[in-house]
A and B are shown apart, each in its own frame.
Chain A
């Protein structure tokens, strides 16, 4: 029963890693670069939601606050791509990587300057409640996290498989030049992908803050752990990102229980190294050569 308890808590954590990793992969596919500020965007979303929802702050209804925080992060990411990152387009990939790392630092300090450096929790309607199934007792928030993730993944899948814009996003990432020739406004489509991953970051941040507490510095650790998850899954694969996140999330509490704590800390990165050595393109890589 104990194992099952750990498993469910691990899956919930893994869902949050997975959501951030999805953001990494979306941006990687659209811009062919990694957004190392993804974790900090998540924390920004969390703090925005806290400022909007908590009773000693703006005291808005939970869902309204969540919607505003998600929308704000979406707009933020859209403008980030169309105003700032577009300017380094055509430069070596490293330029964009360094730019997003720097952006992460800036975000972290701005968040700290506005909201302080102490951990804050988000007040949620389900705080402290537990769901009892026989001897098993699960925090309701864990169930909410898992349910939200399943729902978001289903929506994303339908969006990419069925809608015109979703297909255009796939097309732009598979062959940007051809998409451009077909009359797809590639620049706007790429900025919209950034917006989507901003919204995902905000939702992940809200879920995470509702489960425990957030502090500005958490963005770095979270970002890198989710990046490891994306690499484990294969950096170009959406199902892979989710699977990588779940894998890390599930194995972490078990490692924490059975290994000395300093070893448990390095566990996700050791797993990433192992995957890189055995299957360099990740567990779920989408690799095929172009036919000539």
Chain B
């Protein structure tokens, strides 16, 4: 399949601090690609650079074989790239319906978003029930659903989904990830998913990248990453006993 998004050697800094040190990855159309990594690995910086909120210092981003690095978010939303930020970031004093309307802000076809509203109601029936409620009064899980739904209103081809599991209970995490998988399979939505919850992410993803201190250190199909010793040790929290019984030392990462 053709890559929808190709990132080549991307470097982004906050002033003198370099957060991305040459990241390259490729996102095939219709797939879910996950980027795993711990705190400060550069995951959110990567998402912000892809959605245009940060300008990269070097490297290129191609979307449908067009250069898009350095473009502003309002332009990219119209091109079909939408960023669902970490920590929900809904508009707390606006109603659910108004939040959704803001998701469609950049669209030129003012009337066409009725179809998306129907889609949202189908995937998130709870939001349809709470249409008139102030978004700040929703529960954490509902707010996350609203953030994703608001992103859908832009009718994206590519959704950049930053930590949808943040602060949610395991039941809600699996509910949200089920919806993510359905959106991918039923609507053909391509998703870049950034996660600390590696297990949940690898279960839905087709392909995974591991980001550490601004570099991609490993990548592969999700099943292979899931089976990899390194991933199991450092991201999944291995549960089985090793052959030597309880080890007293920390394994060295083999990719270093």
Contact = CB atoms under 8 A, between A and B. Distances in A.
A184 B78 CA distance: 11
A184 B105 contact: yes
A266 B55 CA distance: 52
Interface residues of B, number: 35
A286 B75 CA distance: 33
Interface in B37-79: 51, 53, 72-78
B136 interface: yes
B150 A174 contact: no
A281 interface: no
B105 A175 contact: no
B85 A181 contact: yes
A168 B136 contact: no
A171 B92 CA distance: 9
A292 interface: yes
A184 B101 CA distance: 12
Given A177-B85, A290-B136, A184 B91 contact: no
Contacts of A179: 91, 102
Interface in B94-133: 94, 98, 101-103, 105-106, 110
Given A182-B102, A184-B102, A175 B53 contact: no
B176 to A, nearest CB: 16
Interface in A237-292: 286, 288, 290-292
Contacts, number: 84
B83 interface: yes
A242 to B, nearest CB: 18
Interface in A192-241: none
B192 interface: no
A175 B91 contact: yes
B73 A183 contact: yes
Interface residues of A, number: 21
A181 B138 CA distance: 21
A183 B74 contact: yes
A185 B72 CA distance: 9
B3 interface: no
B90 A178 contact: yes
Contacts of A183: 73-78, 105-106, 154
Given A164-B105, A181-B83, A290-B136, A174 B53 contact: no
Contacts of A171: 91, 94, 98, 102, 105
A236 B108 CA distance: 32
Interface in A142-180: 164, 167-168, 170-171, 174-175, 177-180
Contact of A178 (B74, B91, B101): B91
A25 to B, nearest CB: 14
Contacts of B93: 170, 174, 286, 288
12 contacts: A167-B101, A168-B102, A170-B91, A170-B93, A171-B98, A175-B89, A178-B90, A181-B89, A182-B102, A183-B74, A185-B72, A291-B139
Given A167-B98, A292-B87, A292-B140, 12 more contacts: A164-B101, A168-B105, A171-B98, A175-B91, A181-B73, A181-B89, A182-B82, A182-B106, A183-B77, A183-B106, A184-B102, A184-B105
Of all A-B residue pairs in the complex, the 8 with the closest CB atoms, nearest first, are A183-B106, A183-B77, A178-B89, A183-B74, A174-B91, A181-B83, A171-B91, A171-B102
